Amino acid sequence: MLRVDSLEVRYGRLTALHGISFEVGSGECVGLIGANGAGKTTTLSAIAGVLTPAAGTIELEGAIVNREAPEAIVRRGVALVPEGRRIFTTLSVEENLRIGASIRGDDEIAADVERMMERFPVLRRYAGTHAGKLSGGEQQQLAIARALMSRPRLLLLDEPSLGLAPLMVDLVFDLVAQLREEGITILLVEQNGRRTVELADRTYVLASGSIVLTATGPEDLGEVERAYFGGDAAVEA
Ligand code: ATP
């Protein structure tokens, strides 16, 4: 589904990604974890077409998409749930959902809004309410539902559990597991390394713009922890 090869991204003179390579197979849930500033959001932004790589390739289902605009990437079946949700706070919950379907021209949008409200009862309860009135956990559900409205085959999730209460964190990780069961391919960016390694088929650890470790299951958690600390030390140095 996705192959990232020797991806380098710069912000002016700062190189945020130093030629990273990884893959996400169709139907997989793959984790990308690392400390603040490791380059996780930068990686997702490059895949989503928001940032243009300085070098390397991003391949989606065999097509190199390095220079494609964000809308073109969405049309290829990729949806990004950004860090901090970024829902439209002054629009209603239902309007937010409809915006998620803005690239679609079919006549099943209303039915999909209904499906989202069935799946996330809180969205039905607040359908006509300004989305800004929702709690963090409710806004995260809306942000994921909005992304699902484009009917993505690849979902990019940027720290969906950030700042949520423990029960909401459970709900988010359960939801990611369900979406994978439903056949959606997922790239999950997280700081919650343990939960991600436990859930994902494979987890890459990013430190200072490089992938330093690939974990395949809970047995790798000790090594992941050491890679995290190594990464932090490298950032500070
Ligand atoms: P966080 O968990 O804090 O979101 P992250 O792993 O997602 O961290 P990035 O946001 O991708 O990390 O940042 C990677 C590096 O690029 C950091 O050194 C950061 O300061 C820098 N950076 C990110 N965005 C910009 C920008 N718009 N302009 C300049 N530097 C940036």
| Confidence label for 155 from pLDDT (cuts 50, 70 and 90) | very high
- The answer to whether the beta carbons of residues 221 and 194 sit under 8 Å apart is yes
Percent of the chain's residues with pLDDT above 90:
79
Neighbour count for residue 27 (Cβ, 10 Å) = 15
83 lines ligand 1 (CB under 6 A): yes
Burial grade of 233 (CB within 10 A; 0-12, 13-18, 19 or more): exposed
pLDDT at 29 over 70: yes
Residue 227: DSSP 8-state: H
pTM of the model: 0.93
Name 221's Cβ contacts closer than 8 Å, sequence gap at least 6: 193, 194, 197, 215
Q: How far apart are the first and last CA of the chain?
A: 36
What is the number of the ligand 1 atom nearest to the C-alpha of 206? 6
Residue carrying structure tokens 């190189």: 15
Residue owning the nearest CA to atom 27 of ligand 1: 11
Give pLDDT tens digits for 80-138. Answer: 999 878 889 899 999 999 999 888 888 889 999 999 999 999 999 999 999 999 999 99
Question: How many A from CA of 103 to the centre of ligand 1?
Answer: 29
pLDDT at 234 over 80: no
84 lines ligand 1 (CB under 6 A): no
Top-level CATH class of 2-77+152-236?
A: alpha beta
Percent of the chain's residues with pLDDT above 70:
96
> Ligand 1 pocket: which of 13, 42, 44, 212 to mutate (most atoms <8 Å of CB)?
42
Give pLDDT tens digits for 140-152. Answer: 999 999 999 999 9
The pLDDT mean for the chain works out to 92
Question: How many A from CA of 39 to the centre of ligand 1?
Answer: 6
172 lines ligand 1 (CB under 6 A): no
231 lines ligand 1 (CB under 6 A): no
pLDDT at 32 over 80: yes
27 dihedral zone (left: phi>0; alpha: psi -120 to 50; beta):
left
Give pLDDT tens digits for 207-231. Answer: 999 999 999 988 988 898 888 766 4
| Confidence label for 235 from pLDDT (cuts 50, 70 and 90) | very low
**Which SS3 state, helix, strand or coil, does residue 105 take?**
coil
Question: How many A from CA of 120 to the centre of ligand 1?
Answer: 31
Residue 164: both structure tokens together = 């949520």
Q: Would you state the pLDDT for residue 105?
A: 82
163 lines ligand 1 (CB under 6 A): no
Instruction: Look at strands 154-158 and 185-190 and give their pairing.
Output: parallel
Give pLDDT tens digits for 183-208. Answer: 999 999 998 899 999 999 999 999 99
Give pLDDT tens digits for 53-67. Answer: 999 999 999 999 999
Q: Would you state the pLDDT for residue 230?
A: 61
Domain residues of the chain, as ranges? 2-77+152-236, 85-146
